[in-house]
Amino acid sequence: MCYPRGEFLIGARDVLLGCIEGCEYYIGGDQWERWQHTRLVLDVVPGRGAGFSLEAPEGVRFIIRSELCTQP
Residues 11-64 have pLDDT tens digits of 999 999 988 888 888 999 999 998 888 888 888 888 776 666 766 677 778 888
Is residue 1 within 8 A of residue 52, CB to CB? The reply is yes
d(CA 39, CA 48): 25
Q: Give pLDDT, residue 8.
A: 82
pLDDT over threshold 60, residue 72: no
Q: Give pLDDT, residue 5.
A: 80
Q: Is 42 helix (H, G, I), strand (E, B) or coil?
A: strand
Q: Give pLDDT, residue 29.
A: 93
Q: Give pLDDT, residue 33.
A: 92
- Kindly report the pTM of this predicted structure: 0.69
